[in-house]
């Protein structure tokens, strides 16, 4: 039984360490909880609980029935477009929250390309070769700016009408 107890103790230590790492890495989300609450439901938050610089905008917003109706009938990204230019602090907060997770898409996309490229049938790929294949796959999404290319070219105009 001592072997089982030793294993359990080792697993407990590992899980405790993982929990500490998780809490440390994501503690910033706890610090941003107020901003997340304002972003997700600006009509439900109490203005008195918010920083002074945004309180007046929240009070004005909560008194605007047209914006309340727009909030109920649209998604968050669309709703915050209606706030420009009258609510600069709220739109800045929305931009901050909306852009917070924008970079994860690229990581997930590259990871998907890697998983598609390195399959069981292609398990002998070296890291260097896999890296080159991923670069090639990622660069295929690059779209040329046709309008800029055309503007940079000199057109030959025929003399006949």
Residue 68, both tokens: 């309340």
Please report, in angstroms and rounded to a whole number, the separation of the first and last CA atoms in the chain: 98
Whole-number Å distance between alpha carbons of 86 and 6: 63
Torsion of CA 26, 31, 36, 41, to 10 degrees: 140
3-state secondary structure of 102: coil
Kindly state the percentage of the chain with pLDDT values over 90.
14
Would the pTM count as exceeding 0.85? Answer: no
Per-residue pLDDT tens over the stretch 99-114: 776 666 667 777 777 7
Interval 8-64: pLDDT, tens:
888 888 899 988 888 887 787 777 888 888 898 999 999 988 888 889 999 999 999
CB 117 within 8 A of CB 130: yes
Q: What is the predicted pLDDT for the residue at 62?
A: 93
Whether the pLDDT of residue 84 is over 90: the answer is no
Supply φ then ψ for residue 74, to 5 degrees. Answer: -135, 170
Average pLDDT value over all residues in the chain: 80
């Amino acid at each position: 039984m001592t072997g089982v107890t030793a294993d359990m103790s080792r697993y407990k230590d590992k899980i405790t360490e993982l929990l500490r790492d998780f809490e440390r890495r994501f503690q910033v989300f706890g610090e941003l909880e107020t901003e997340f609450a304002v972003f997700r439901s600006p009509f439900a938050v109490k203005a008195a609980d918010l920083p002074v610089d945004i309180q007046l905008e929240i009070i004005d917003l909560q008194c605007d029935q047209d914006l309340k109706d727009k909030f109920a009938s649209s998604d968050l990204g669309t709703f915050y477009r209606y706030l420009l230019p009258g609510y600069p602090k709220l739109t800045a907060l929305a931009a901050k929250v909306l852009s917070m997770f924008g970079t994860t898409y690229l990581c997930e996309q590259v990871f998907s390309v890697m998983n598609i490229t390195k399959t069981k049938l292609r398990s002998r790929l070296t890291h260097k070769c896999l890296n080159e294949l991923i670069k090639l796959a990622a660069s295929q999404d690059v779209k040329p700016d046709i309008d800029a290319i055309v503007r940079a070219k000199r057109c030959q105009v025929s003399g006949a009408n």
